[in-house]
Chain A
Amino acid sequence: MSSGKILGAILVVGAFAGGMYFGSSQQSPTITSSSGGASYSGGYDKSTDTSVKNANKSAVAARTAEGVTHVINPGDLIMDAVKAANPGDTIQIMPGTYHETVYIDKDDIRIVGVIDQGKRATLDGQGTLNDAILYSGNNVVVENLLITKYKGNAIMGQAGNNFEIRNNIIVDTGVYGIFPQLGKNGIVEHNIISGIEDAAIYVGMSDNIHVAHNEVFDSVAGIEIENSRHAIVENNYVHNNTGGILAFITPGLPIKTTFDVIIRHNFIVNNNTANFGAPGSTVAGIPAGTGILIMAADEVIVEGNIISGNKTAGIIITDHQNAPNTTIDPESDPAPDKVMILDNVMDNNGYDTIDEAKALMLTEFKQGNPDIVRVGVSRDSCIINRHRYVTVGVKNWQECSFTNTANVDSYILDEPVPAREIDPSERGKVVYMGICAGCHTYTGRMIGPPVQIIQALYMDNPQGLADWIAKPTKKRDDYPEMPPQDYLDEATRLAVAKYLLSVNK
């Protein structure tokens, strides 16, 4: 997609709660020291998460034993190695250019580009392939790649937990650069991403995410935290996008909330690139020159960022009603509540702002270039040292009761999300009910022969049945051949064999 039409500025003038501000006060401003004082204790209570024990800032499970390392050279298919790989394996990709979509539907696979004298393993979609890396497994690592010219995303996760995506360079890949979706416990760090039509880094419908030390530029959105909870976005260099860092609730998605997001210590500079988002996309409504945009997300802390040179505003906070490019969702709260703005360095923002922001300023008899623009409903939000900034819409906000987030190091779980434990004694039953029962009943003819007949054949030989399940042979002319069940591990096959031989109806 090329330059899309901007459908409309994201702001429309809405009415503020409360009365007019006449600016007659000559009281000295409240100056709160950000070096002392209380620290935010975090909106995520690790003590309630059962999988937390010791601090250890990695997302994937530590390997107790390394699997096989598959080395891929130019001319090889990375996918061949992924197909051959077992959980625990590492795939090293030597420098060179590869044209393929790599999908990883298994757990604990690491894709590691080998960087040799600055030369990287390059995945080139040549403008025809859709996505470069697609993963759905848990404990997947993708690092050190150069990815370019894919139509869709560079790296897309679908419900993989415990992921680490780092040290990749992603240039001109269409829709999203890095897009982990529906995962819990992930790190996106030390990536350089540019030229993306939507968000360079898009964390969607996920929990416990750490986005740090990335450089994102020349994209429509830099970093987007959407319908996600317990996310930290820190130490990123976010420049020359249309909008820098976004914390959104996008309506209409199956996961309905965004809360507990810390945006801190980022450089958010000169995000004035003309919006080239696809028509109809949520980001297509972002006015160029937006540093941070908070839409409907709750418990968002903005702390210690350098926000400068963003021509519309440093920070825009809006509800859904005032964002005409969004749909509605009866199940999503449209208001950005508990937004917390701590000390930030804000300079030279709002110097060429949009008419809607100017109109809002007029409602407060304000002049100048806005650093912070808030429109619509926002409950229980707070700000410290507001006198530093040119603001509109925050005069009724409380002082925050804390000044920093130093107590919150990370929202990454101390131990990875575990594979769900199923009582081994239940294993046979679950497989029998979930799979075997689709074709076999106890007495009647279904797709396969009745269980009674199988029992008569194998009654004292569960191991024999387990072996047959793995490599079935055709036995009966009047029944279809059974598909092999060798994807079930040996213990599970034996468990289901024993269970099947024990059922009595």
Chain B
Amino acid sequence: MNVSLQVMGKKTDFILKSDCPPSFEKSADGTCRLVNLYQFYNSVQGRGVGGTQTALPKHRDGFTPAEIDLGRYLFFDPLLSKDGSLSCASCHQPDKGFSDQRDRSIGVTGEKVVRSAPTLWNVAFLDKFFWDARATTLEEQAIGPLFDPKEMGNNPTKLLQDVNANKLYRELFKRVFPQSNMITLTQITRVLTAFQSSLISLNSRYDRYAHGAHYVLTDREIAGMNVFRSFVARCAECHQPPLFTNNQVAVIGTPEPEGMPFDVGAEKTFNAKKLRGGFKVPTLRNITKTAPYMHSGGFDNLFDSVEFYTKGRGHAVPKNESLQLHWHIWEPNLTKEEIQLIVEFLGTLTDESLTPTIPAFVPSGLPVIDQEYQLSITKHNNNSSATGNGE
């Protein structure tokens, strides 16, 4: 199936793939099912947390190759934003760990929003989205940045007008959703979900260790892994294998960048004082690619991020704040060498082998990952105003 577009005088074909992405098997009903070695294992209560050989939690899959591929075009298309200036990929760039290497992302207004862009690797396994855990599905999550005035700034009416006015999208959606004459918001969030669910990173050197290839990690990396999972450092209590997150909210008391007001995080989501300053435990997979770190990018490297935990319980909590810090936050008194070993271990969690191809063109004809736009806003990098509502 292909649709073409004239780009700079050249005819460009849009072909929706009929094969599943790597690591996905096409089942009899034509949908793609994830296949991986963690299927060999089990996990207590089916929750997908534990040690080296632990099953993964439930995940999203079962999309058709065409849905995934259409989602890919949309993901990279700035048509989705209010003024065509930025796409999902502007803040979730494939070569930056599906994040953007900023402390906090910059939206259509050119201002920084309040929180950093989380990685999208392995989101298929999550059931809480946004740093403050306010969405429970990827479809629900997609609505957030699309219609946040400080992020993509769009609204449902304009978005649907724009995509429906695009002949190529109408044609492509028609092929994926043949029963429907108009492109709907549900269809848009579905294909975005389909694409994001294909971003799987489970083939790092750590994974090969977990499956039994113990020689693939160096002695230092193994030493780092042992500090990481020791009950002194306690990293693995929240960043639990195999996803290196336990999908929970934790109050750890990281500092906000200077000049930023205290972020209440999950307190607002759950209307719960005890979760004040609580944020979702992020995955550590591909963590070396997603600096700076924490919900508002307070640390620009991994050493400092790890060191935060050893500086003592609550050391960065503002004087006027009283937080119920997670009990795993204590004073582990790690040595500099131990911190360095943990950092080296975190490097073994890198696997970008299934990075999808960035489309050369998208149906709107707008530039993908809008590099011009990215350049134009670098001047705002020192702008610390923070008014957006999402990340």
Q: List A residues at the B interface (Cβ < 8 Å).
A: 1, 83, 101, 103, 105-106, 130-131, 134, 136-138, 151-153, 156-161, 174-176, 179, 181-184, 205-207, 250, 252-255, 278-282, 327-328, 330, 417, 419-420, 422, 429-431, 433-435, 437-439, 441-442, 446-447, 483-488, 505
Contact = CB atoms under 8 A, between A and B. Distances in A.
B231 A179 contact: yes
B274 A327 contact: yes
B25 A130 contact: no
B43 to A, nearest CB: 7
Nearest to B204: A438
A101 B143 CA distance: 48
Contacts of B248: 252-254
B226 interface: yes
Contacts of B222: 103
Contact of B22 (A156, A252, A441): A441
Given A253-B246, A328-B274, A483-B216, A429 B25 contact: yes
Nearest to A207: B44
B164 interface: no
A118 to B, nearest CB: 30
Contact of B313 (A103, A205, A279): A279
Contacts of B331: 1, 278
Given A280-B313, A446-B22, 14 more contacts: A1-B331, A105-B210, A138-B53, A161-B42, A182-B49, A255-B49, A327-B326, A328-B270, A430-B35, A433-B36, A434-B35, A434-B203, A437-B354, A505-B19
Interface stretch (B105-113, B154-162, B232-240): B232-240
B49 A254 contact: yes
A89 to B, nearest CB: 15
Contacts of B210: 105
Given A183-B44, A280-B330, A252 B49 contact: no
A420 B40 contact: yes
B37 A328 contact: no
7 closest cross-chain pairs (CB), A and B: A159-B50, A136-B51, A159-B51, A158-B51, A433-B35, A130-B230, A434-B36
Contact of A159 (B54, B250, B313, B354): B54
B248 to A, nearest CB: 6
Contacts of A250: 327
Contacts of A487: 208, 211-214
Contacts of A278: 330-331
Contact of B44 (A106, A184, A419): A184
B232 A433 contact: no
Given A252-B248, A438-B351, A487-B208, A327 B324 contact: yes
A106 B212 contact: yes
A447 B44 contact: no
A88 to B, nearest CB: 15
B230 A134 contact: yes
Given A105-B214, A420-B42, A438-B353, A252 B249 contact: yes
Nearest to B251: A327
A184 B54 CA distance: 12
B147 interface: no
Contacts of B250: 252
A57 B354 CA distance: 46
Nearest to B22: A437
A182 B43 contact: yes
A327 B45 CA distance: 22
Nearest to A486: B213
A438 B354 contact: yes
Contacts of B74: none
Given A130-B226, A280-B327, A105 B52 contact: yes
A131 B232 contact: yes
29 contacts: A130-B226, A137-B53, A151-B232, A152-B232, A158-B50, A159-B49, A174-B231, A184-B44, A253-B248, A254-B47, A279-B313, A280-B325, A280-B327, A281-B327, A281-B330, A327-B324, A420-B55, A430-B36, A430-B40, A433-B35, A433-B36, A434-B36, A434-B37, A437-B354, A438-B23, A446-B22, A447-B353, A483-B216, A488-B212
A130 B36 contact: no
B152 interface: no
Contacts of B47: 254-255
Contacts of A252: 248-250, 326
Contacts of B233: 130
A433 B47 CA distance: 23
B24 interface: yes
B262 interface: no
Given A152-B231, A252-B250, A483-B208, A438 B326 contact: no
Nearest to B213: A487
B202 interface: yes
Contacts of A253: 246, 248
Nearest to B35: A433
Nearest to B330: A278
Contacts of A153: 230-231
Nearest to B222: A103
A205 B272 contact: no
